Amino acid sequence: MVDHASSSVFIFGTRSALLWGNIVGFSIFVTGFSRSYNTPTAQTYRSTCRLMSGAGIIALSAFSASSDPPLRKLNAPDYLVPDHSSPLSKTESTGVSILFPHQHNFTTHTQRKKVHCDGKADSVRQFRSMSTGKEKVAIIGSGNWGSAIAKIIGYNVRRNPEVFDPEVRMWMYEEDYEGQKLSQVFNTTHQNPKYLPGITIDSSVVAVPDLVESVKDATVLVFVIPHQFLKRTCATIKAHLPSNAKAISLIKGVDLNETGPVLLSSIIRDNLSVDVSVLMGANIANEVAKDMFSEATIGYSNRKNADLYVTLFNTPTFRCEPIEDIAGVEICGALKNVVALAAGFSDGMGYPGNTKAAILRIGLLEMKKFAQHFFQGVKTETFFESCGLADLFVTCTEGRNRKCAEAFAKTGKTFKELEVEMLNGQMLQGTGTAEEVDRILVNLNLTKEYPLMHVVYEISFKGKPVTVLVESDYGTQRYWEERYTKEKRETFEWYQDYHSLIPNIRPIIEPYQSAAQRLRILNLGCGNSLFGEQLFLDGFGSVINVDFSAAVIAAMNKRKEAKIKEYRDSEEREGIHEAWSHPEDIEYQVMDVTDMSYAPNSFDIVIEKGTMDALLCSEDPHAATAMCLEACRVLKPGGLFIVITYGIPERRLCYLQDEKLRWRVIQQTDFPGYCATDNEPATLDYMYVMRKNEKAD
């Protein structure tokens, strides 16, 4: 059958198993089993054909063989083994190798010289990955986002059987769930009840707790793990991948070395020697999993692979747009989580929408500046794709980094504690990225160039109060002294003036008025507002106005003396309020509202307008609580504390309902607030009313 003369390779098999070829570096002769070399069928087989499923061929080596007609020469020796064989090394001498698909029960005998196993599997891996001609997908990670994207991948793998192998393996870190292994629960129910409850994932996705086993034969690697584990993961799987593998990273984060930031895609590329793309975008995992419409951006350097990823990820409700800018797309995905922490801090402190809008604007500028400073070729338009502005917006309004940062500001708990309580132990991406980015900025003396990112790190890790986030000094005595010293206006109203507010306040105060006894009212943080003066003029009782700025108290006392003099000097007193005949009923005193000198149970009503909002800008995170404690202390039993603020209930009740306070909230009201123009929608202001317990201190 074979005359050992020339160097060639024979591959034998049935017609169904013999579509072979197109292997880089090889020229292969193909013939049918038990067929004459001169038949038309055999001539058809003498070609380089596309490798197809079902061909489990065993070895290629250098051979001496001849036939009639002549067979094509093997251009480069290599070694291909089936999935359950060991890699083979070069033969020690020439010989004949007749190769069969391993699933067929052929008994043809051939003589083969001894071969060795040298443990090098590069070509073996290449052959295996090509054994079906289809892309085999492995998902590395199975958390909230990993499980959500697995649903999309499973859907598209089933929809494109000509492109993808029907099984998708998803590496799942093994852990217990209600007495069972989580991977077993997933493979039984096709749901991840711990990290994505209630969402069914296509049965083509199989959870595999062994990392190496999960990537076996995979040609497409989808990375969805916390970036802190990336290097370790790459080291584990490196020797077990086919040489034509490629990867796409959905990981949001950044690494660093001595010269600056390192893209996570670069870590994958350098460690695995594969082409790497990235996918980022405005993708809240739970919303994507529920098929709510969203977009994503694929950053690529290889257009062919980008097109494959569009096929893998694109659905009617998850639209993917490729752009040739890996660095820009990836940096957007990493840094937006740092900005989201700032947005969450702002929400936790009850700052208004204007503050969050400023955070988003500053954050986007710092993201763009950072990306273009450290990476060449980053496109400005990338920041207006889904991975940029859109992702930043949704992460700063709905993302879990924002939610945890809000809880951090409200509760004082550490992020580690919040990860356990709110994320089932999953790690936040924003905190790790903030730490790594700040290390870069400090090393390169760039902290002043990126003030928002630097302050997020200091709040998260250095114990700085959340209030340092805003560049406002409203909570400092120094600011108000300087402001009121330079103030050219005699009076100024924060939020709304008295006449706008009194329709909401009068029904609350009037039931407490008595002909026999005038109310004692304390106005906290009066500034140069006329609010306290108007309460006095309307006859609600005696009003004491306090502020810690000596400058403004001096100015308001000067105004009071002028009003008294005007009343006394006027004969007709037309237009001058009769209340000025009793000037003792209005006072202005210098006092710190967090530490007042009044005796307990001294006032019937305590009221403040915007003072809590200012205190929440101070460096003392407990200042607002301290003011509430003092207000409660000086109130008489049954007395009222009235707070007028821009803070919504979720941002203010955490202070007003502190367990140390001996009162209860009896009313909360919102009403249209300030608007700059007639065409601008009014903001909302809020009023909270607390009644002190009747039992005396």
- The residues assigned a catalytic role are 336
Give the count of beta carbons closer than 10 Å to the beta carbon of residue 577. 15
CA separation for the pair 632, 626 (Å, rounded)? 10
Which residues does 29 contact at the CB level (< 8 Å), separation at least 6?
8, 9, 10, 11, 46, 71, 72
Give the count of beta carbons closer than 10 Å to the beta carbon of residue 204. 20
Is the distance from CB of 388 to CB of 382 less than 8 angstroms?
Answer: yes
Exposed, middle or buried, 463 (CB in 10 Å: 0-12/13-18/19+)?
A: exposed
Q: How far is CA 357 from CA 288, 346, 351, 665, in A?
A: 25, 10, 11, 31
Exposed, middle or buried, 261 (CB in 10 Å: 0-12/13-18/19+)?
A: buried
Give the count of beta carbons closer than 10 Å to the beta carbon of residue 554. 14
CA separation for the pair 280, 326 (Å, rounded)? 10
Query: Any idea which residue has 């503050």 for tokens?
Result: 355
Nearest alpha carbon to residue 350 among 566, 587, 645: 645
Is the distance from CB of 244 to CB of 130 less than 8 angstroms?
Answer: yes
Is the distance from CB of 627 to CB of 615 less than 8 angstroms?
Answer: yes
Is the distance from CB of 19 to CB of 51 less than 8 angstroms?
Answer: yes
Residue 192 DSSP label: B
Give the count of beta carbons closer than 10 Å to the beta carbon of residue 418. 20
Exposed, middle or buried, 489 (CB in 10 Å: 0-12/13-18/19+)?
A: exposed
User: The tokens of 227 are what?
Assistant: 């970036």
Which residues does 413 contact at the CB level (< 8 Å), separation at least 6?
407, 421
- Residue 608: which region, alpha, beta or left (left: phi > 0; alpha: psi -120 to 50)? beta
CA separation for the pair 14, 90 (Å, rounded)? 27
- Strand, coil or helix: what is 337? helix
> At 511, which amino acid appears?
P
Residue 121 DSSP label: -
Greatest distance between any 2 Cα atoms in the chain:
137
> Between vectors from CA 332 to CA 331 and to CA 337, what angle results, nearest 5°?
100
Which residues does 274 contact at the CB level (< 8 Å), separation at least 6?
221, 241, 245, 246, 247, 268
CA atoms within 13 A on the CB side of 484: 23
- Residue 554: which region, alpha, beta or left (left: phi > 0; alpha: psi -120 to 50)? alpha
CA separation for the pair 594, 631 (Å, rounded)? 9
Give the count of beta carbons closer than 10 Å to the beta carbon of residue 225. 22
Nearest alpha carbon to residue 603 among 527, 467, 512: 512
Measured torsion, CA atoms of residues 122, 123, 126, 131, in degrees rounded to the nearest 10: -140
